[in-house]
Amino acid sequence: MAFSSSAHRLICLTIFGSVLSACGGGGGNTTPATPIVVAPPQNTAPTISSFVSQADVDNALNITFSWAVTDSEGDALSCVISPGNGVDDISVADCSATTSVTVMYVSAGDVSASLMVSDTSNASNTQSVDFSIVDTSGGTPTPVVTAADNQLVIFYNRPDANYQDWVLHLWNNSSCDAYADFASDGGTVWEVGQAQTGIDPNYGAYWVLPLKADSSDCANFIVHKGDEKDIGDADHRADLTGNRMIWALSGIGELYSEATLFPSGVLIFDTAAHWVDSQTVFWDVNGSGVAKVRIYSSATDDLGYDGETGMTGNDFVEFTPQSGGTHPSTSLNLPRYQDLDAYTADSTTTTDIKQMLTGKLLAIAYDNSDVVVAATYVPVSYKHLPLPANSTG
């Protein structure tokens, strides 16, 4: 069939989806155009523009990781931080908004950490950072918790690591009004106490205690198990003017403001040796094989005691176990000491004792090999002892 000369070629354009086809009028055989397929847009993996680590200036084992991540399609991004060195991975649901996290490592050394960022289509990117941790804590382990603002942390360490039923008795009063959980004249019920927050593998049981925003500079507490008290069998006041971190050791009445572990060897226990006259000491020594007892004097509270070797220097009086005869408590008319072991000195001078009594006194029991068996502080009674050289009576 032919078209008239006045007819124009008809061109039709059909658009169907993304396929284009053209047809010409006038009949005849024509070949359809090849379809053009437009591919859907491809997803692009998110980008990590920075991933860095920074050590805490006060604790080198605390490392803060910071990052910056973006996505060209504007997808929501999630991250996984792998700190390395045995520390569990940390997931961050929205790591575009949250851009840092702090990790507490347990030991110094070389570390390789990584950050993986993923979008909603599971496209991901990873970046690593290598660094070294140098522990500047002086050799003591880092505690598992530190006091935040308006918090007090108390550690209680026992040699037997048995913390069952040990609690704190806490109370506020006019002198120390600190605990946020109690009224100004309130506190825990003695029979219940404040339960432990957790156990530190090095420093024992610990309590994290919230403080009032306007708290006083001290906080009252007692460590106890039922009616049994520990750390000196005393009511204690925690000093809140420093870092609000308290370390306590079972059997020792002193509170420490820095991380403290039990020393090696024999600990100084209680105030149990009684120096009643120039040549007699009564003491129920917690040990066996005592060959001698020495009472040392120090002008300062830092006695320089070593739990394995005792003390150095010659400022001491030496006593040996009494062998037979009447117990000295009888002749001294001190019947309350009848059940204690008696140790006597061969000779000494009144002048030496007067000078010693001006300092802090410590009794140390040794065996025949000069190994420390026990140590205790010494109270002074002047009934049978000379007055100190600087005393007026």
Which is it for the CA torsion 340, 345, 346, 349, positive or negative? negative
Which position has the higher pLDDT, 387 or 347?
347
Alpha carbon of residue 45 to chain centroid: 41
Q: Would the pLDDT of 74 be above 70? A: yes
| Contact yes or no for 32/20 (Cβ under 8 A) | no
Give the helix/strand (H/E) hosting 70: strand 62-70
- The whole-number pLDDT of residue 9 equals 43
pLDDT at 11: 41
Q: Are strands 228-229 and 245-249 parallel, antiparallel or unpaired?
A: unpaired
Please identify, in words, the CATH class of the domain defined by 268-377.
mainly beta
Confidence tier at 309 by pLDDT (50, 70, 90): confident
Strands 78-82, 62-70: parallel, antiparallel or unpaired by DSSP? unpaired
pLDDT (0 to 100) of residue 389: 53
Per-residue pLDDT at 232: 76
> pLDDT digit string (tens) for 183-203?
999 999 999 999 999 999 999
**CATH for 151-256, options being 3.40.47.10, 2.60.40.1110, 1.10.3720.10, 2.60.120.620:** 2.60.40.1110
Q: How far apart are CA 117 and CA 102, in angstroms?
A: 18
- Encode pLDDT of 81-125 as tens digits: 999 998 999 999 999 999 999 998 888 889 999 999 999 999 999
How many other C-beta atoms lie within 10 A of the C-beta of residue 281? 25
Residue 198, phi then psi, degrees to nearest 5: 180, -175
Residues sharing a CB contact under 8 Å with residue 105, sequence separation 6 or more, in sequence order: 61, 62, 63, 83, 85, 87, 111, 133, 142
Nearest CA to 99 among 48, 58, 44, 43? Answer: 48
Query: What is the residue type of 249?
Result: L
- Is the per-residue pLDDT at 314 higher than 50? yes
pLDDT at 345: 87
The pLDDT score that the predictor gives to residue 6 is 45
3-state secondary structure of 159: coil
- Which of 15-19, 50-54, 268-272 is most confident? 50-54
299: confidence class by pLDDT, cuts 50, 70, 90: confident
Tokens of 261: 């572990």
Q: Which CATH fold would you assign to the domain 47-133?
A: Immunoglobulin-like (2.60.40)
The first and second tokens of residue 255, run together, are: 């509170």
Quick one: pLDDT band at residue 67, thresholds 50, 70, 90? very high
Given this chain, do its domains 47-133 and 151-256 carry the same CATH topology?
Answer: yes
All structural domains of the chain with their residue ranges: 47-133, 151-256, 268-377
What does the pLDDT average to over 328-333? 90
CA distances from 54 to 31, 51, 62, 80, 104 (A): 69, 10, 9, 18, 12
Of 6-20, 37-51, 294-308, 312-326, least confident by mean pLDDT is 6-20
